[in-house]
Structure 1
Amino acid sequence: MRRVVVGLVVFVVSLSSFALGQQEKPMTLKAVLLEQLRSTHNKAEWFVPANTAAAGLTPEQASWTDKSGNHSVGQLANHLVFWDRDMLAKFKGETPAKFDGNNDETFNNFDAKSWDATVKQLDQVMTDWESAVEAADDAKISLWASRIAHVGTHNAYHIGQMVYVRRQQGVWDPNKGVK
């Protein structure tokens, strides 16, 4: 099953490069995963990366929620910091932070006073993921490929929510990637 997932990831990336008219040499699995991690971190490609989605907000703006009960940008960033750290600790063979299993806490523990620190932590954990994948050997990459791909997908999903919340709030610059 893992080979099917890995093959599918490589196929999709190759197909998307072909569709864009880019004739690139075949990519390694590590290169594909690093590309995914970087595109959700700080390399604007097909969608807005985290550093752009979080940039320029005041603590009050980062705390804003709509009347429908959607999470704030700060809550979403806090959630990403938690889960990216959790999975990175496991990837590195370390013990992750204690967690009681209540996923709501990963959102609701956000404190507006810590917004600047949250943005820095998000950037740092994403940088740390990239460094860890770069340093890993092919056997570890192969073993963890699906989970690393899910980290990138999870990041992209919540970054999209961050942009959506900013648009609802009226604090999104459409020139940054989403009109």
Structure 2
Amino acid sequence: MSDHASISALRKQLAETLRSSHAHADFAQSVKDFPAPLRGKRPEGSPHSPWELLEHMRIAQWDILEFSRKGEHESPKWPEGYWPKSPEPPDEKAWDRSVHQYQQDTDAFCKLIEDESNDLFAKIPHGDGQTLLREALLAADHNAYHLGQLVLARRLLGAWKG
């Protein structure tokens, strides 16, 4: 396999990893028809509600995406800027907005990765040694970790049918 074909295959695999669910439930399945009354509930023993997990995933993925493509991006303050202020969504439309934005950012990240003009291995100019490859892997790892927590919270709240 040529270097170009190998890099193309890597790009495809990275995007697929961000979009899909080979080893676990997928994002769409995990948030679909999530009962509104349970979105802000913290299961017994859990530090986070489903809303907190969803919004944290959205914020973190957005931050990684923006860092990967914009030198002027300023990350939220850690840790408070990465978590919502309340376990409950602020209004009845917040859940759907967060889901939609997460999916939009996933698509944007995949397009960034798949764009052959972006070198996966080059250091991000405004970073501290990070590469687009590293940021894509970071996003996929972070998303999978918290998606597992979200599914567990949903299961503990009695709202998982998967």
State the TM bucket, normalised to the shorter chain: 0.7 to 0.9
Please give the secondary structure, in 1, of the residue aligned with 2:46: coil
- 1:165 matched to which residue of 2? 153
Q: TM-score, normalised by structure 2?
A: 0.78
Once the two structures are superposed, what CA deviation does each residue of 1:83-122 show, in whole Å capped at 9, x if it has no partner? 1111111111243355222x24422335521112111111
CA contact (8 A) 1:80 1:155 kept: yes
CA contact (8 A) 2:65 2:109 kept: yes
**Which of 90, 95, 98 in structure 2 is aligned with 1:115?**
95
Partners of 2:72 and 2:39 lie apart in 1 by 30
Question: Gaps (5+ residues) in structure 2?
Answer: 123-131
Cα gap change, 1:104/1:66 in structure 2, threshold over 3 Å: closer, same or farther? farther
Number of residue pairs aligned between Structure 1 and Structure 2: 144
More helix by share: 1
Shifted more, 86-95 versus 26-35: the winner is 26-35
- 1:128 matched to which residue of 2? 108
CA contact (8 A) 1:33 1:148 kept: yes
- 1:106 matched to which residue of 2? 82
RMSD: 2.2
**Which of 47, 51, 69 in structure 1 is aligned with 2:46?**
69
Question: Gaps (5+ residues) in structure 1?
Answer: 1-24, 175-179
Aligned residues with identical type, % of pairs: 21
What is the one-letter code of the residue matched to 1:100? K
Shifted more, 70-79 versus 55-64: the winner is 55-64
1:1-179 matches, cutoff 5 A: 28-39=9-20, 44-97=21-74, 99-101=76-78, 103-109=79-85, 111-112=88-89, 113=91, 114-137=94-117, 139=119, 141-143=120-122, 144-174=132-162
Shifted more, 165-174 versus 85-94: the winner is 85-94
What is the one-letter code of the residue matched to 2:42? T
Cα gap change, 1:136/1:93 in structure 2, threshold over 3 Å: closer, same or farther? farther
Aligned-pair distance for 1:136? 4.4
What is the one-letter code of the residue matched to 1:125? D
